[in-house]
Amino acid sequence: MNQSTMRKNQYVIGLGEALFDCLPEGRKLGGAPANFAYHVSQFGLNGCAVSAIGNDELGREIIETFTNVGLRYVLPHVPYPTGTVQVTLSGNGIPQYDICQGVAWDNIPYVEEIAALAPDTIAVCFGSLAQRNGISRATIQAFLDAMPQDALRIFDINLRQSWYSREVIEASLKRCNILKINDEELDIVAPMLLGITLPQGHMIAEDEAAATAVCRSLIEKYNLSMLILTCGAIGSYVFSATDMSKQATPKVKVADTVGAGDSFTATFVAQLLLGKTMQEAHKKAVEVSAYVCTQSGAMPKLPAELLK
């Protein structure tokens, strides 16, 4: 990483898993935080992926890929294999994940090079998956605690399989100021944190009034500045304590949805940092994530018209 090219107090960090999604057509680099950092960088911000890799071919391939796309990184080597995920796609392109354990991103050390980024970070995106192991969890929490008070801390909750707990979710919510969650995750979190009982077969997001009430309850309970709720083909919402933005999901020909949510989060955050309103940021995030759905893999190059 060439830190001389970064202006002070201008890091936008994706912190957590960097891995390979092994798709039916071959493997592609992914991991929600790495995807976030890549898409942020496409908008001219100083995105940086922070994770850990093994001293193996896949680790070298991650560095080569990040270098080729111009993404900055801090990736300490650890004595574990670089992470992989087996991804299978349903008929409509919805991914299912088999996430390997005991891998490098489970063991991200809080080394000096990572710690040095925290005071100069204006936004960080992190999730629950990379906190499934104590080593990476401690690093993520230490990094969040060392950031400036006014920085954006985006918790992209990203619940995968059984790799989450109430303890990790609550600790993360207490450290973040923006929560990104999807409709299926909302149905898990609402009973867990708010004691809401759902009728069998009912999804909160199917009822806009109910979804709004739950999201505002989460904002109030955890003192959030914003909550982003994505509901697939139904649409998406962004809530603040006093405002709300709603956008329909564009109809596109879907190649796969891998990384679409990460591109949404990255675009939304980038637009906020570039001075756009919540509504403007939301509109651009929807446009970008729809485009990513038309491409294979999580890190397509965005066309110029979307980067205006």
Tens of pLDDT, residue by residue over 56-95, are: 999 999 999 899 888 999 999 999 999 998 878 776 667 7
pLDDT at res. 25:
76
Model pLDDT for residues 118-148, shown as the tens digit of each residue: 999 999 999 999 999 999 999 999 999 999 9
Q: What is the SS3 string spanning the chain? A: CCHHHCCCCCEEEEECCCEEEEECCEEEEECHHHHHHHHHHHCCCEEEEECCEECCHHHHHHHHHHHHCCCEEECCEECCCCEEEEEEECCCCCEEEEECCCCHHHHCCCCHHHHCCHHHEEEEEECCHHHCCHHHHHHHHHHHHHCCCCCEEEEECCCCCCCCCHHHHHHHHHHCCEEEEEHHHHHHHHHHHHCCCCCCCCCHHHCHHHHHHHHHHHHHHHCCCEEEEECHHHCEEEECCCCEEEECCCCCCCCCCCCHHHHHHHHHHHHHHCCCCHHHHHHHHHHHHHHHHCCCCCCCCCCHHHCC
**pLDDT at residue 33 above 80?**
yes
pLDDT at res. 108:
98
Query: Who has greater pLDDT, 128 or 32?
Result: 128
**pLDDT at residue 226 above 60?**
yes
Tell me which of 15-24, 87-96, 169-178, 275-284 is least confident.
87-96
pLDDT at res. 3:
37
Query: Who has greater pLDDT, 304 or 278?
Result: 278
pLDDT at res. 31:
85
CATH number at residue 283: 3.40.1190.20
pLDDT at res. 85:
85
**pLDDT at residue 30 above 70?**
yes
**pLDDT at residue 5 above 50?**
no
Q: Distance between CA atoms of 50 and 33, rounded to whole angstroms? A: 8
Number of domains, the chain: 1
Show Cβ contacts of residue 104 under 8 Å, excluding neighbours closer than 6 positions: 51, 52, 53, 54, 59, 77, 78, 80, 81, 82, 83
Instruction: For the chain, give the mean pLDDT.
Output: 90
Q: Distance between CA atoms of 103 and 235, rounded to whole angstroms? A: 35
**pLDDT at residue 53 above 60?**
yes
pLDDT at res. 93:
67
Percent of the chain with pLDDT over 90: 68
Q: Distance between CA atoms of 156 and 115, rounded to whole angstroms? A: 21
Contact between 78 and 105 under an 8 Å Cβ cutoff? The reply is no
pLDDT at res. 99:
87
Query: Who has greater pLDDT, 280 or 99?
Result: 280
Query: What domain range is 236 assigned to?
Result: 3-306
Contact between 142 and 54 under an 8 Å Cβ cutoff? The reply is no
Cα angle 233, 126, 34; round to 5: 80
pLDDT at res. 145:
97
